[in-house]
Structure 1
């Protein structure tokens, strides 16, 4: 009888030891933190200013604009400014191919210009809330545009959730809910994955010999995806591939983030934005 009692007394302890050992093994492999971590963002009740910089490494007037955009690298969302750098491809045939360029960004720049009744696209060009702002480098002018936007109530709600997965991947869930009174308006949703702290040694073209530094560079782009009945949910598996060759094996999550926004397809107006730096 005593032997049976001793076995029963030690069995919970043995199980506890086994459980602790298993948890220690999972923690060492990083699976516990990957499974439990979750980063989230919700858009505020007022509009947020999406700042789009159209840039190129082949343009010698772009580095000052790149530096200007970088000032909101970390703190922009707290000031209701969400910056993105979209590198276009029409400079690529003039001596230097921009490794961050995508033709879809050239197309988006042209579309926004056409919607506003313009005809010419150029770099650096800045859009705030979907509308061009030629005087972006003048602080008063830029702040005036931002203040006007954030004084308006939001016309959409956006919720972002990112859950880390093993191997540098993330599960993305983005939810969009329209609040506009115009039920006939076509609204499109977009999601952009950006990367910070990038640099390039330029070997040709107008910036030959220069080391260029970039923040908030769009690396992945989803959209346009139309809202149906004023609602939409986008779910994607996002894999982080750093443009820094030395980081490809183990990219730093701190360098990446996700921006989601809703746009009026007929006018180009960006109705609401959410920004989410990725968590560990």
Structure 2
């Protein structure tokens, strides 16, 4: 069963979040820790000692209530990890038969949305839907509710460590990288753990010519273009090495238009234990 939300959206002021962040001890620690940074001369990131909030927005260009949610997510295009927020936009495919085919949609994102919903004991998927650290947050459009969820997450010590490195491939156009992601868990659980890497792209624009958003120009940030995983952790460890090559149509884009997010998830509960965010370096 698929339910399409009425999309009532109250907005989210970035300034309000910043003021809250300045007052919250846990988030202050997140800002001080340098959640993920490209080191001088290298392109790498390490997750911090505290947990960060992976924010997954399930969206579609065919959904009239999704553009406000897309705009909401875009406020963390850069620097979100320093606030404890690692955002991703995953475009689902179940709107594609209703007038407009979303070129960023992938069926695996529909499957992931359904899996997270099933694990939580729910049955309905819809757009826009937001998961924070693997748990649905229906009240994401409330500044206080979202800030409270992030505050709770970043106040927790991390039970997994993630390190990710990108190396531009010599002699290749922008958008071609060698990826190396390392995952280590010290969680006190017997549940199976999985590692994932998402390759995202910023500054995307679509001229929608049919469906609910017909005639609109849509702007997207942090759109997942490639999805790698699940890779099971064995004895608390996993590694993902991958040749990342973006679509030829995007090959000439600046390197920092792209990035990767690597994360560890509890396969039994859907909880995202930890994540690292890295923008591609020049």
Shared fold, TM over 0.5: yes
Q: Superposition pairs for residues 86-97 of structure 1, below 5 Å?
A: 86-97=90-101
Deviation per residue, 1:212-251 (Å, 9 max, x gap): 0000000000011100011011111111226xx4x54x22
Q: Report what 1:197 is aligned to.
A: 203
Residue 175 (structure 1) aligned with residue 185 (structure 2): no
Q: Report what 1:51 is aligned to.
A: 55
Number of residue pairs the alignment of both structures matches: 240
Q: Report what 1:240 is aligned to.
A: 246
Deviation per residue, 1:62-117 (Å, 9 max, x gap): 00000000000001011010000000000000000000000000000000000111
1:179: how far off? 1.2
Q: Report what 1:65 is aligned to.
A: 69
8 Å CA contact 1:258–1:275 kept in 2: the answer is: yes
Deviation per residue, 1:7-52 (Å, 9 max, x gap): xxxxxxxxxxxxxxxxxxxxxxxxxxxxx95300000000000000
What is the CA–CA distance in structure 1 between the aligned matches of 2:80 and 2:186, rounded to whole Å? 24
TM-score normalised by structure 1 residue count: 0.84
Residue 216 (structure 1) aligned with residue 218 (structure 2): no
- Give the alignment partner of residue 206 of structure 1, picking from 212, 224, 241: 212
Deviation per residue, 1:126-148 (Å, 9 max, x gap): 00000000000000000000000
TM-score normalised by structure 2 residue count: 0.83
Unaligned runs of 5+ in 1: 1-35
Residue 187 (structure 1) aligned with residue 189 (structure 2): no
Q: Which runs of 4+ in 1 moved over 2 A?
A: none
What is the CA–CA distance in structure 2 between the aligned matches of 1:205 and 1:128, rounded to whole Å? 29
What is the CA–CA distance in structure 2 between the aligned matches of 1:117 and 1:64, rounded to whole Å? 28
1:254: how far off? 1.4
1:252: how far off? 1.5
Deviation per residue, 1:178-236 (Å, 9 max, x gap): 01012x22000000000000010000000000000000000000011100011011111
Larger radius of gyration: 1
Q: Report what 2:113 is aligned to.
A: 109
* Bigger helix share: 1
